[in-house]
Chain A
Amino acid sequence: MSSGSAPVLEVRGVTKSFGEREVLHGVDLAVPEHGAVALIGASGSGKSTLLRCIDLLEEIDDGDVFLDGEVITDPSVDPVSVRRRLGLVFQAFNLFPHLTALENVVLGVVRAHGTPRREAQERARELLARFGLAGREGDRPDELSGGQQQRVAIVRAFASRPRALLLDEVTSALDPELVGEVLEAVRELKAEGATMILATHEMSFAREVADEVAFLHDGRILERGPPASVLSEPRRPETRRFLRRLLEGGRL
């Protein structure tokens, strides 16, 4: 089911409103196995909302989301079982401040996935080391830099071997000098073959890591395609305007 042409994650015609305000109107998106889709767009364009809807942290109004060909947004589907197959990394890290780095990673693996603690710890140690956090396993989040915290959060989301990872502007809350180490961690995820959607403002990074770029504007995907074409030769005037503004802001 997971191989071949069938996408791991597919979003079809998803709409979502908060009260009167419609944030997503009919979003379509698909991510193949080992694929990485960069979701770009201005603040408030609905990137975070879309990722939260996919992880069932928000209930969508209309449309469907499929995970491995199976609809997950049906009310009869248990959201907990879906979230156990996905990983979400938040812009603000959202580490558990009362737990150490290791415990942050292990908690879900043990409690949600039933992995024996010993085994979960072993894997967590290994992953933390691979993401440059060897020796920091016993530190609490407030003892770590922002970049280290976000890397722990990435490991936490990745530790349970999710079918797909959702990265919500994982570098936006970081001081500029800490961005590089987190981007390196995302490269590592890509090298591991992770399937992911990454909402990002880092265009050069999107160009490097993503197989596809999707431009979200006013709750719609206006343009999708390989990074080279969308970022270098955008067809839509909105995309061009957005990229020009980023360029003026020194972010390209």
Chain B
Amino acid sequence: MEAAGASAGVDRRAAREAATRARARRGQAIAALSSAVVLGGLAALALTSPGWPTVRDTFFSSSAFADAFPKVLSGFWLDVRMFLVVEAVVLVLGLVIALVRTSRSPALFPLRLLAAAFVDVFRGIPTLILVYMVGFGIPALELTGLPTNPVVLGEVALSLSYGAYVAEVYRAGIASVHRGQHDAALAVGLTEGQALRHVILPQAVRRVGPPLLNDFIALQKDVALVSILGPQEAFRVAQIISAQTFNFTPFMAAAVLYLAVTVPLARIVDRLGVHGVAR
């Protein structure tokens, strides 16, 4: 009797495992089929459209791609350099603004006001307009000592815009640290400044990793906006070649390069989001 019960238990477990496997197989099959139908359908729609031959030649010309790619790539290094500079500036600028905004000292009131205005203004103006304003406005002042290099001016404009965004990300991180942490820090005898530095900020910064990276993906693309000031970065180079050859494929080369950076960054964001930020 007991032996029969045990073997029935084993059978049931085997049956359950088999059912789970069958369900998984069926799920995979359905996913594959629906992907084939949807993607195939979209491809068929594009490929059978009346204009497809023209689009293929103007956007997906392999010879034009091969010609343009090295030049666009050399322009893309400028994008990467600007991205790295602006990212470094923005990480510091955003933190400073966030700290000012979260401070409570009455003496800092005017600074708090300025910081709030900074965020409102530079987050509220389209980045494209900011690039115009800084890129053409500052040189027009004709003041000695101010930068006139369009790359630098573009970096300044992007730093203002993204500094405002990143400041708010930091501020949210600081606000998310429980009040009990602040109390505990004071209770062990720390000053407000020490509490901020050793207790609040370390926790806040760990929490804002994913949203910060998200902003950096956006920044990596918006670097292309500096092209309107003239620097020959990827988009600008693609534009020039395209104007000479009447072919849009160079833009595809630029798009591929942007993707080559933003997709890995996005995967890092996903991983941080799933696993939490490493301590």
Interface residues of A (CB under 8 A from B): 52, 55, 57, 79-80, 83-84, 86-88, 90, 92, 94-98, 107-108, 111-113, 140, 156-157, 160
B147 on the A face (CB < 8 A):
no
* Given the contacts A98-B203, A140-B279, A112 and B184 also touching, CB distance less than 8 Å: no
B183 touches A94 (CB 8 A): yes
Interface segment, one of B53-61, B166-174, B190-198, B252-260: B190-198
Which one of A80, A97, A98 lies within 8 Å of B189 (CB-CB)?
A80
Q: Which residues of A contact B107 (CB under 8 A)?
A: none
| Known contacts A83-B186, A88-B187, A98-B203, A107 near B198 by CB under 8 Å | yes
The reply on B181 being an interface residue by CB < 8 A is yes
How far, in angstroms, from A111 to B194 measured CA to CA in the complex?
Answer: 8
Asked if A113 and B183 make an inter-chain contact with CB atoms under 8 angstroms apart, the answer reads: no
- Name the A residues within 8 Å of B203 (CB-CB): 96-98
Q: Does B206 contact A (CB under 8 A)?
A: yes
Do A112 and B199 form a contact, CB below 8 Å, given A90-B180, A98-B279? no
Closest B residue, CB atoms, query A159: B188
B189 pairs with A84, CB closer than 8 A: yes
Residue contacts A-B, CB under 8 angstroms, 14 given:
A55-B187, A57-B183, A80-B189, A80-B191, A87-B187, A90-B183, A94-B178, A94-B183, A98-B206, A107-B198, A108-B190, A111-B194, A111-B198, A112-B189
Q: Is A107 in contact with B188, judged by CB distance below 8 angstroms?
A: yes
Given the interface pairs A97-B203, A111-B194, the reply to whether A157 lies near B189 with Cβ below 8 Å is no
Contacts of A57 in B (CB 8 A): 183, 186-187
User: Closest CB-CB distance, B251 to chain A, in whole Å?
Assistant: 45
Contact A94 B190 (CB under 8 A): no
Interface flag for B202 (CB, 8 Å): yes
Q: Which listed residue, A79, A97, A157, touches B188 by the CB 8 Å rule? A: A157
Residues of chain A within 8 A (CB-CB) of B194 are 111-112
> In the assembly, what is the distance between CA of A95 and CA of B194, in Å?
16
How far is A109 from B188 in the complex, measured between Cα atoms in Å?
8
B262 smallest CB distance to A (angstroms): 30
Contact A111 B190, beta carbon cutoff 8 Å? yes
- Which residues of chain B have C-beta atoms less than 8 A from A92's C-beta? 180
Task: Assess the A108–B206 pair: CB atoms within 8 A.
Answer: no
**Would B187 and A112 count as touching, CB distance under 8 A?**
no
Bound Cα distance A68, B185 (Å):
23
Give the distance in Å from the alpha carbon of A108 to the alpha carbon of B198 in the complex: 10
Give Cα A97–Cα B198 distance, bound, in whole angstroms: 12
Which of the residues B180, B183, B189, B279 comes within 8 Å of A160, measured between beta carbons? B189
With both beta carbons as reference points, the residue of chain B lying nearest to A86 in the complex is identified as B187
Tell me which residues across on chain B come within 8 A of A87, comparing CB atoms: 187
A124 to chain B minimum Cβ distance, whole angstroms, is 12
Q: Which residue of chain B is the closest to A153 with respect to CB atoms?
A: B184
Instruction: A57-B187, A83-B189, A92-B180 are known; give 18 further A-B pairs, CB within 8 A.
Output: A57-B183, A80-B186, A83-B187, A90-B180, A90-B183, A90-B184, A90-B187, A94-B178, A94-B184, A96-B181, A96-B185, A96-B199, A96-B203, A98-B279, A107-B188, A108-B189, A108-B190, A157-B188
Q: Tell me, in angstroms, the Cα distance from A79 to B188 when the chains sit together.
A: 12
Q: Are A157 and B187 in contact (CB under 8 A)?
A: yes
Chain A residues with Cβ below 8 Å from B202 are 98
Report, nearest first, the 7 A-B pairs whose CB atoms are least far apart. Answer: A108-B188, A112-B189, A94-B184, A84-B189, A88-B187, A94-B180, A108-B189
